[in-house]
């Protein structure tokens, strides 16, 4: 198991998950978000090849009001 | 026969042809329904949105985003909250995927107190984003040289502030805004931030600005929907006034009523 930060909260994940598997493990069911790992954007096309590692910082962002 | 005159100019921004010159924000409204009504009545064809951390889904969807999509107008995602070029670039890339647009309102804040944009990081981010195919709407101060640097890196749109975000103080430096307008007659210029009253928006339009972007002035009004209508009219009035050509100021009084034939003429000694 590894520890990562997801949207500022520490989460425990299995080792060697890719981004698609991580999203499933974290139970994100509603689509319409984008993912950054260690402040670098990960496009959907790269979800499967991007492996989450110990200590990674993950941001999952969705639409909100803005000015 | 009199005929109602309307601004006959549609305008182009970011590759789109629009008729409304009011760009509206989607934040701070009393309720989602109020936001929807205000945006609709404003006539705005561009609405700003943002991205924030999302908790793991409970299957509820995103009601806010559903409303925005139902409006059928252009979406302009911002990079609000970014304090470096790197953060802004990442946010823009994420927004492009989520919102399906290459438009981005580039905001890189340099000071937490007055939310003044960081000109150095803004220019740096703009250069990268333009190379990546974004249509960058940079939020900047009313500094002419910063505007030049943004134009140098390829910005076709520049959005100087009227005054601090959310302050409602109006146009702090109309002369600076005029200087930018004169220097860049071919760029799309939008006053962004600091607008508080419809008259402020009209003033920006009278200066020859192509558009006005605001949020708090409508959302924080006692009646946001009515205020949205007021801003619609103010932006139209200001634009029409600009197109009509404002009279030159004069140093001294000049009577508008003819003096020839004045009755009861008094000869002063």
> Tens digit of pLDDT per residue, chain A (67 long)?
999 999 999 999 999 999 999 999 999 988 899 999 999 999 999 999 999 999 999 999 999 999 9
Do the Cβ atoms of A33 and B54 come within 8 Å?
Answer: yes
d(CA B161, CA B173): 9
pLDDT of B142 reads 97
Taking residues B251-264, report their average pLDDT. 89
B59 touches chain A (CB under 8 A): yes
The shortest CB-CB distance from B90 to any of A7, A40, A63 is to A40
pLDDT of B116 reads 94
pLDDT of B56 reads 84
Min distance A11 CA to chain B CA atoms (Å): 12
B133 touches chain A (CB under 8 A): no
3-class secondary structure, B140:
strand
Tell me the pLDDT band of B8, cut-offs 50, 70 and 90: low
pLDDT of A29 reads 83
DSSP H or E stretch at residue B68: helix B63-71
A42 touches chain B (CB under 8 A): no
What's the complex ipTM?
0.97
**B191 near B171, Cβ under 8 Å?**
yes
Residue B176 or B58, more confident:
B176
Share of chain B above pLDDT 70, in %: 94
Tell me the pLDDT band of B3, cut-offs 50, 70 and 90: low
Among the residue ranges B3-17, B143-157, B162-176, the one predicted with the least confidence is: B3-17
For residue B150, how many other CB atoms are within 10 A of its CB? 27
DSSP H or E stretch at residue A20: helix A19-25
pLDDT of B7 reads 64
Residue A24 or B59, more confident:
A24
pTM, to two decimals: 0.93
B70 touches chain A (CB under 8 A): no
A45 touches chain B (CB under 8 A): no
Tell me the pLDDT band of B4, cut-offs 50, 70 and 90: low
Q: From B25, which residue of chain A is nearest by alpha-carbon distance?
A: A67
B115 touches chain A (CB under 8 A): no
pLDDT of B253 reads 92
Give the strand pairing for B74-77 and B16-18.
unpaired
Q: Tokens 């107190």 correspond to what residue?
A: B113
Indicate if the pLDDT at residue B59 is higher than 70.
no
Do the Cβ atoms of B98 and A36 come within 8 Å?
Answer: no
Cβ-based neighbours of B58, under 8 Å, separated by 6 or more: A29, A30
Min distance B149 CA to chain A CA atoms (Å): 24
The shortest CB-CB distance from A32 to any of B56, B98, B166 is to B98
d(CA B230, CA B3): 22
Q: From B50, which residue of chain A is nearest by alpha-carbon distance?
A: A66
Taking residues B121-136, report their average pLDDT. 98
The shortest CB-CB distance from B62 to any of A43, A60, A62 is to A62
Among the residue ranges B3-7, B66-70, B141-145, the one predicted with the least confidence is: B3-7
pLDDT of B2 reads 58
pLDDT of B263 reads 87
Indicate if the pLDDT at residue B18 is higher than 70.
yes
Taking residues B214-232, report their average pLDDT. 98
Do the Cβ atoms of A34 and B94 come within 8 Å?
Answer: yes
Indicate if the pLDDT at residue B269 is higher than 60.
no
Q: Which of B105, B53, B113 is nearest to A9 (CA)?
A: B53
pLDDT of A38 reads 97
Q: Tokens 């009199």 correspond to what residue?
A: B2
């Amino acid at each position: 198991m590894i520890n990562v930060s997801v949207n500022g909260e520490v989460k425990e994940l299995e080792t060697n998950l890719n981004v698609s598997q991580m999203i499933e493990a974290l139970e994100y069911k509603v689509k319409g978000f984008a993912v950054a790992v260690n402040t670098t954007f990960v496009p959907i096309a790269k979800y499967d090849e991007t492996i989450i590692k110990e200590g990674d910082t993950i941001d999952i962002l969705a639409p909100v009001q803005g000015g | 026969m009199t005929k109602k005159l309307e601004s006959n100019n549609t305008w182009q921004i970011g590759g789109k042809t629009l008729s409304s010159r009011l760009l509206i924000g989607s934040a701070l409204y009393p309720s989602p329904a109020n936001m929807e009504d205000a945006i609709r009545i404003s006539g705005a064809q561009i609405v700003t949105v943002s991205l924030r951390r999302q908790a793991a889904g409970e299957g509820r969807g995103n009601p806010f985003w559903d409303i925005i999509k139902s409006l059928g107008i252009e979406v302009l995602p911002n990079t609000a909250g970014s304090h470096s070029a790197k953060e802004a670039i990442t946010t823009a890339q994420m927004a492009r995927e989520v919102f399906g647009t290459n438009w981005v309102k580039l905001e890189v804040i340099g000071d937490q107190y007055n939310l003044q944009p960081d000109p150095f990081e803004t220019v740096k981010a703009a250069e990268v984003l333009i190379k990546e195919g974004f249509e960058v709407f940079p939020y900047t101060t009313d500094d002419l040289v910063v505007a030049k640097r943004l134009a140098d890196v390829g910005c076709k749109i520049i959005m100087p502030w009227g005054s601090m975000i959310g302050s409602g103080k109006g146009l702090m430096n109309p002369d600076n805004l005029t200087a930018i307008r004169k220097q860049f007659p071919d760029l799309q210029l939008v006053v962004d931030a600091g607008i508080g009253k419809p008259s402020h928006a009209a003033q920006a339009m009278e200066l020859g600005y192509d558009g006005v972007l605001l949020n708090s002035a409508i959302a924080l009004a006692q009646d946001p929907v009515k205020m949205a209508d007021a801003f619609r009219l103010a932006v139209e009035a200001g634009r029409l006034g600009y197109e009509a050509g404002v009279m030159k100021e004069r140093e001294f009084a000049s009577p508008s009523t003819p003096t020839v034939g004045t009755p009861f003429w008094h000869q002063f000694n």
